Amino acid sequence: MGAGPGAADLITLRGARRIAEADVVIWAASLVMAECVTEHARPDAELVDSSQIAHEDVLALYRRAAAEGLRIARVHSGDPSLWGAVQEQYDAAEELGLEVEIVPGVSAFGAAAAVAGRELTIPEVAQSVVLTRLEGGKTPMPPKEKLREFARHGTTMAIFLSAARSGQMVTELRAGGYADDTPVVVAHRTSWPDELTLRCRLDEVEQVCKEHKLWRHTLFLVGPALGAAGTRSHLYHPGHFHTFRKPDPAARKALRAARRSS
């Protein structure tokens, strides 16, 4: 299940209930705030820090759960569907005959945008979000998933797991077409007590990371939407209509004229 980006009150109600019901709670102390577990777990629940053990040790706990009829809550940071190694756990639990439920969580990229007060999709500026990371590092990337190739779309990007190589990240984004003045949000440990949210240009990112010693737990939001202003969604325009609302005739006429001229 996903514990959210950090703060204990950003865990979902369902996630909190699953922790409260669990006989064993497995969580990574390096990535999940202790309060996310301690505020919800039963006093008699067994708490296991997964940052100290390997996948095989976790499987031993799953086998014990199958043999003894225990409930286990495996708590991941953010949303488990993003870099959560959830598939190998799901497959192992199914092989053991355990009933499995994946509880989604608030991802760090959504939390970072909220803290920064920015929208990732702005009409006529960006309507897509690319979630990715810089190639290289411990986990190989598929050959077609290069940062510079994604950057060619020119839309909003949320780049994870890349702060230790911020200079290389900037080089790849430039190669993909982002200009030096492209707006960037640098989000470190969003929603934790020591969170840090900074805004800068693309050509300032490497210096910002060095100045603040941001090597881990840092996410980058990149793209023109992060600096956009003065645009308006048509959804709530008085000239727009949908199943539940009729348009104002004069506003509808003006809206259609504006579309034709653009």
Q: Convert the pLDDT of each residue in 124-162 to its tens digit.
A: 889 999 999 999 877 788 889 999 999 999 999 999 999
Tokens of residue 28, six digits: 């990574």
Take residue 23 and report the two structure tokens written for it: 């006989």
- The first and second tokens of residue 220, run together, are 């980058």
> What local confidence, expressed as pLDDT, does residue 67 receive?
95
Q: How confident is the model at residue 231 (pLDDT cuts 50, 70, 90)?
A: low
Question: For residue 229, is pLDDT > 80?
Answer: no
Interval 205-222 mean pLDDT: 96
Q: 130: closest CA among 39, 220, 64?
A: 220
Torsion of CA 86, 91, 37, 216, to 10 degrees: -30
Is 2 in contact with 25 (CB distance < 8 Å)? Answer: no
Give tens-digit pLDDT for 69-111.
999 999 999 999 998 788 888 999 999 999 999 999 999 999 9
H helix count then E strand count, the chain: 9, 8
Confidence of residue 230 (pLDDT cuts 50, 70, 90): low
pLDDT at 262 over 70: no
Spatial distance between the Cα atoms of 147 and 261, rounded to a whole number of angstroms: 35
Distance of CA 45 to the CA centre of its chain: 29
Task: Identify the CA nearest to 3 among candidates 15, 21, 18.
Answer: 15
Residue appearing with tokens 């003065």: 230
Read off the pLDDT band of 236 (50, 70, 90): confident
Tell if the pTM clears 0.85, that is, is over it: yes
Report which of residues 161 and 247 the model is more confident about. Answer: 161
